[in-house]
Amino acid sequence: MRNPLGRHRRRLLALLGAAALAVGGAVALPGTAQAANVLTNPGFESGGLSPWTCTGNLGSVVSSPVHGGAKALQGAVTDSDNAQCSQTVAVQPNTTYTLSGWVRGSYVYLGVNGGASTWTTSPTAYSQLSVSFTTGASQTSATVYVHGWYAQGTYWADDISLDGPGGGGGGDTQAPTAPTGLTSTGKTSSSVSLSWNAATDNVGVTGYDIYSGSNQVLTVSGTSATVSGLSPSTSYTFTVKAHDAAGNVSAASNAVSVTTNAGGGGGTGFKQAAPYLYEGWGDPPSPTTVMSATGIKWFTMAFVLDSGGCTPAWDGSRPLTGGADQSAINAIRSAGGDVVPSFGGWQGSKLGANCSSAAALAGAIQKVIDAYGLKAVDMDIENTDEFENEAVQAKILTALKTVKANNPGLKTIVTFGTSTTGPTYYGNRLIEQAQSLGANIDVFTIMPFDFGGGSDMYGNTVNAAEGLKNKLRSTFGWDDATAYAHIGISGMNGLSDQQETTTPAIWTQIRDWANSRHIARLAFWAVNRDRPCAGGGVVSNCSGISQNTWQFTSITAGFTG
């Protein structure tokens, strides 16, 4: 197959040459007036992007890595979007300005629209870029930008400065008019689309800030936006304010209230956003606190194991009913949610390996179904005792076929490891045996972590899922849509055991891809770890990276399939 990066690399070389000529051919520039940084929020210390705007909503403010202060910009570059973040400011005509900033990543650019730019590649440390330009004879505004390059990975930027005199003589102090006619143009269970009439300004409107209640949630340059990551069946009230290059902000637009659609995916397909919650590890949080903060409705409860004699128990030791796990499940259901128990996992005494037959295993699973009136069960098939044992695979699949037949409407899920290109030998055998046994599995969920994902966790996760889709197509004779509808993704938030890093921005990309392909299930390991601890390593009760508390759960709640 041809290298999919080839097209981007050819474009990259062409642009590098053009940039080199532009910078190298610059003539000596006249001196500036007294220098001052005319950018707003140059070091992102506000904790938000405004007044910066980023293409594809791919920019975010992070706490690590930073150059100075406590915050920096992160751009989540994709194959088709260079995650350009820009800011428009007022400038004086026929005046020299110097643009500089600290950047980190592969092929990071700093420049001004219609003028000079420069770039560097510094994947492991911040490096300073600087370029000068002179405004035109009648120019009163300039748009500066920073961006990465297609398919070259995430970049970071910090402490960006545009040194020179501010525009507008004594300074523009007139705010734009308030936007009018704010209305909702569409909604899903996790997003609301908005549009409004443009505001006016004595110099020019440079952007619009969208608010949900009192919280600014998005900044855009046009007169429409889609706010994503919302909770199903929830009422939101939105307003919009305009701003100009001098930082003047208008009054709020009219307010519009919108209730998102119900979750659960709709239609006839099975859709489930269900991160793992483990009551036996990692300072288990209150599930209702997490639900209230994020809008999540489902949890995957870990793990049902064998307490001896093919008898199910939580972790193999906590009672099936009457303990902490049942208390958590009761609380989740009282708050309008539900659970899917996960059987197995990486270690411990597993029912799949220990039960003497498929019938005995089906009986053990049935005890859990009866105890909780379950709608779905997940078999987490891992390690040499289950995943790499084809006889045990067949036992598990046959047991699932039995409980599915005995419990009409029950959904069955199998979860297993993967390579970066799709199922491994044993993953392929699991799928092939599911077909030959007629197990009628609803969801085949891969775990794209600890799989050599390296620095491109988004790209390798998508590649693994596409490989799974192709295997399901060839094995079952399904079309693409049907194959995607039988796929699940179960990631690992933050730092993995192999030091792979999945950031909130990357997880958002994965969720958006999952929604665009209408897959069946999105999960991650684990809600217990969905708390910040930058530099904390791989631990049970936090992610090892900088993030907001419950941020991955909130992103996952936006999965609708």
The question of whether 382 is a catalytic residue gets the answer: yes
Q: What is the dihedral of CA 300, 344, 543, 334, to 10 degrees?
A: 20
**Helix (H), strand (E), coil (C) string for 189-207:** CCCEEEEEECCCCCCCEEE
Tokens 């419990």 label which residue? 407
Whether the link from the prior residue into 275 is cis, omega within 30° of 0, is no
| Residue 483 parent element (H or E) | helix 480-484
Name the token pair of 338: 């539900």
What is the Cα 374 distance to its own chain's centre? Answer: 29
Of 45, 279, 382, 432, the catalytic one is 382
Q: In angstroms, rounded to a whole number, what is the distance separating the alpha carbons of residues 301 and 294? A: 18
Instruction: Name 168's Cβ contacts closer than 8 Å, sequence gap at least 6.
Output: 90, 140, 203, 246
Q: In angstroms, rounded to a whole number, what is the distance separating the alpha carbons of residues 117 and 125? A: 20
Q: In angstroms, rounded to a whole number, what is the distance separating the alpha carbons of residues 502 and 487? A: 20
Instruction: Name 28's Cβ contacts closer than 8 Å, sequence gap at least 6.
Output: none
Q: In angstroms, rounded to a whole number, what is the distance separating the alpha carbons of residues 549 and 310? A: 38
Q: What does the angle CA 522 – CA 523 – CA 528 come to, to the nearest 5 degrees?
A: 155
From the number of C-beta atoms within 10 Å of its C-beta (0-12, 13-18, 19+), residue 186 rates as exposed
Active-site residues, by number, are 382
